Chain A
Amino acid sequence: MSTNPLHVSPPARDNGALPPSAKRASTWASLNSVRRYLVNQLVTVLAVMSTVVVIVPLVAILVYLIYMGASSLNLAFFTHIPAPVGETGGGMANAMVGSGVILGVASLLGIPVGIGAGVYLAEFGRGSLLAAAIRFTADVLNGVPSIVMGIAAWVLLVKGRGFSALAGGVALAIMMVPTITRTTEEMLATVPHAIREAALGLGVPKWRTVLSVSLKTASPGIITGCMLAFARVAGETAPLLFTAFGNQFWSFKLTEPIAALPLQIYAYAISPYDEWHRLAWAGSLVLIAMIMVAVTLVRIYASRGVLKGAS
């Protein structure tokens, strides 16, 4: 035996004395490793296949849109308003601007309200009855079909007053709020409590802690939520049918009916003219491109100034 006190010899093994369970475990060890390998391979293949199933339709739609729409895109499409029936040419310039106006109004109203409600749920109303009610309402609102939203907005804002860009923006804002609220709440919940305590421990008031620490830490997720909500309502047609209504001419007033890309696409797609069908395809392509550009710009803007090693 060694006299070095640091040298501890392992306890002697006597295989005959192993408990039955241990013996069984050693017998199964090799079989188990084969099984694990196979399961691992199987799950990996399934995961890759699911990804393909998700990606293929997306790419297919995009490629088909480009194929059908790109040929009808010309300068006039971006600078002219729709041509009267029977004339060829014309574009969707007013619809693009209209979509921008409606989405601008919707974002201006929906994003602050949505984030505000999410902040209340996560930071102030924890466990309160009001918070539970808001959460429930948001979840229900998320599931309401957009056409119902449009009818509701019609009753509230259009009936007796006339169609307007503002009503369209409000209808879309209402659709954005639940998504943004719930994402904000969930993202704030992932901010470690220790970080809030750090701020409070420095004598920072609670409101300032929420604004400059909690919200700032959660901002990448919240921005993603806002972009998802934005992208979702950007293509909505049904709520706009009852609110913004559409317009064949230029309109820049919030109180008047205004054109929007989805409405114009819808009107052209159900028309009997081939020329209009082609324009509808082009409009769809432009709509998707506009959403992609908007999302990308916000992402670039949001990722600016992120520090080395920031988590």
Chain B
Amino acid sequence: MGVSISVEHLNAWYGTTHTLQDINVNLPANHATALIGPSGCGKSTFVRCLNRMHETNPIARATGVVKMGDIDIYKDAQPVQIRRRVGMVFQRPNPFPTMSIYDNVASGLKLNGFRNRTVLDETVERSLKSAALWEEVKDDLKKKSGASLSGGQQQRMCIARALAVDPEVLLMDEPASALDPVSTSKIEDLIFQLKSQYTIVIVTHNMQQAARVAENTGFFLNGKMVEFDSTHKIFTNPKDKRTEDYITGRFG
């Protein structure tokens, strides 16, 4: 089941650039939240702060409180523990090229030392089914490399890989921006189904996509979260002038 995320006074830097400035927001459990805003506004950095991937860059740093349920992820846990509870899907599909489809999906478990064959088999099948890819790949699981799939299939495999470690939160950083419209709609259907079981945060440049999949939407601009509200409200009756300018395409 998903877990709610509360963010208090989150600040993040890349070197001397202050990329995120005092973010405060509550993301409800088992809902999808969309993050919109122009390029370089801090959406991706925000998402990467939620699973402590931000700090893998040696010049990056973050301060503030991020709570998943009762756990303060910056105080009470190691980064690797957090990342096992928070799945991440990246902008470009990033399969492990040397691994089979099976090993790609099982990688989160296998690379963390999990060896039980039966459980692995079950997990791989369940994850691929959740990611709506099982029917397309079930005959080539161990024969084909993950990199041999099409872009859309690769991305669904990456989603399956993230689901296989049984996370509570799923972070998606523009998961469909490198895909064609058919694959995009498959991914969107998937998000729609998955949000009953996971807390989903999705960064997108596609405002229709935000409207289609997310209950809540946050608008970022220049490192600040300008507005956060129900998606319906953001798109029909935003409070802030800048949000309105952005969603109507009048942004300079």
Q: Which residues of A contact B (CB under 8 A)?
A: 126-127, 192, 194-195, 197-205, 208-209, 212-213, 216-217, 219, 307-311
**Partner pick for A197 among B53, B149, B162, CB 8 A cutoff:** B53
Total cross-chain contacts (CB, 8 A): 93
How far, in whole Å, are A17 and B233 apart by their CA atoms in the complex?
53
A8 to B90, CA, bound (A): 39
**B112-148 at interface with A (beta carbon < 8 Å):** 112, 140, 143-145, 147-148
Given the interface pairs A217-B98, A308-B143, the reply to whether A203 lies near B83 with Cβ below 8 Å is yes
B side interface size, CB within 8 A: 36
B207 at the interface (CB under 8 A from A): no
**A192 contact set on B, CB distance < 8 A:** 94
Cβ contact within 8 Å between A199 and B107 = yes
- Are A197 and B80 in contact, CB atoms less than 8 angstroms apart? no
Q: Within 8 Å of chain A (Cβ to Cβ): is B97?
A: yes
A308 engages B145 (CB within 8 Å):
yes
Closest to B84 in A: A203
27 contacting pairs across A/B (C-beta < 8 A) = A126-B58, A194-B90, A194-B92, A195-B96, A197-B53, A198-B90, A198-B94, A198-B95, A198-B161, A199-B107, A201-B51, A201-B90, A202-B107, A202-B162, A204-B107, A217-B96, A217-B98, A307-B99, A307-B100, A307-B143, A307-B144, A307-B145, A308-B144, A308-B145, A309-B145, A310-B147, A311-B147
Write out the residue numbers on chain A whose beta carbons fall within 8 Å of the beta carbon of B56.
197, 200
Please name all residues of chain A whose beta carbon is closer than 8 Å to the beta carbon of B140 when the two chains form the complex. Answer: 308
Q: A200-B83, A202-B111 are in contact. Are A309 and B158 (CB under 8 A)?
A: no
Query: B88 within 8 Å of A by Cβ?
Result: yes
Closest to A220 in B: B98
Residues in B with CB closer than 8 Å to A208 are 111-112
Given A198-B96, A202-B161, verify A310-B145 contact (CB < 8 Å): yes
Known: A204-B112, A209-B111; 20 extra A-B contacts, CB below 8 A, are A197-B53, A197-B90, A198-B95, A198-B161, A200-B56, A200-B83, A201-B53, A202-B111, A203-B81, A203-B83, A204-B107, A205-B80, A212-B111, A217-B97, A307-B143, A307-B145, A309-B148, A309-B149, A310-B145, A310-B148
Expressed in whole angstroms, the minimum distance between the Cβ of A306 and any Cβ of chain B is 8
Q: A194-B90, A197-B94, A204-B111 are in contact. Are A309 and B84 (CB under 8 A)?
A: no
Smallest CB separation, B98 vs chain A (Å) = 5
Expressed in whole angstroms, the minimum distance between the Cβ of B199 and any Cβ of chain A is: 16
Choose from B84, B98, B107, B112 the contact partner of A310 (Cβ within 8 Å).
B98
| Cα–Cα, bound, A287→B108 (Å) | 46
Q: Complex Cα distance A310/B98, Å? A: 6
Quick one: closest B residue to A193, CB to CB? B94
Q: Say if the beta carbon of B165 comes within 8 Å of chain A.
A: yes
Query: Given A194, A204, A209, A308, which contacts B94 in the complex, CB threshold below 8 Å?
Result: A194
- Check if B144 sits within 8 Å of A198, measured CB to CB: no
With a cutoff of 8 Å between Cβ atoms, the chain B residues found around residue A202 in the complex are: 83-84, 87, 107-108, 111-112, 161-162, 165
Determine which of B81, B82, B97, B165 lies in contact with A311 in the assembled complex, contact meaning CB atoms within 8 Å: B97
Instruction: Report the Cα distance A217→B140, complex, angstroms.
Output: 21
A213 partner residues in chain B, CB cutoff 8 A: 96, 111
Closest 4 CB pairs of A and B: A309-B148, A203-B84, A310-B145, A202-B108
> Could you tell me if A311 and B145 are in contact, using CB atoms closer than 8 angstroms?
yes
**B98, B144, B148: residue with the most chain A Cβ atoms closer than 10 Å:** B98
A200 touches B145 (CB 8 A): no
Are B111 and A199 in touch, CB under 8 angstroms? yes
A309 to B144, CA, bound (A): 6
The interface centre, meaning the residue of A192, A308, A309, A311 with most chain B CB atoms within 10 A of its CB, is A309
In whole angstroms, how far apart are the Cα atoms of A208 and B111 in the complex? 7
Name the residue of chain A whose CB is nearest to the CB of B147.
A311
The answer for the CA separation of A192 and B148 in the assembled complex, in Å, is 17
Which residues in A have their C-beta under 8 angstroms from that of B83?
A: 200-203
B108–A203 touching, CB < 8 Å: yes
User: How far in angstroms is the closest Cβ of chain A from B170?
Assistant: 11
A204-B94 Cα distance, complex, nearest whole Å: 15
Contacts of A201 in B (CB 8 A): 51, 53, 83, 87-88, 90, 162
User: Which of B53, B96, B144 touches A200 (beta carbons < 8 Å)?
Assistant: B53
Report how far A202 CA is from B53 CA in the complex, Å: 10
Q: Determine if A204 and B108 form an interchain contact, defined as CB atoms under 8 angstroms apart.
A: yes
Complex CA distance for A201 and B96, rounded to whole angstroms: 13
- How far apart are the CA atoms of A216 and B99 in the complex, in Å? 9
| Chain B residue at minimum C-beta to C-beta distance from A192 | B94
Which residues from chain A contact B80 at a C-beta distance below 8 Å? 203-205
Q: Which residues of A lie under 8 Å from residue B99 when comparing CB positions?
A: 307
Most buried by B among A198, A205, A310: A198
Which partner residue on chain A sits nearest B91 by CB separation? A194
> Which residues of chain B are within 8 angstroms of A309 by Cβ–Cβ distance?
144-145, 147-149
Q: Is the CB of B112 within 8 A of A203?
A: yes
The distance in angstroms between the C-alpha atoms of A198 and B99, with both chains bound, is 13
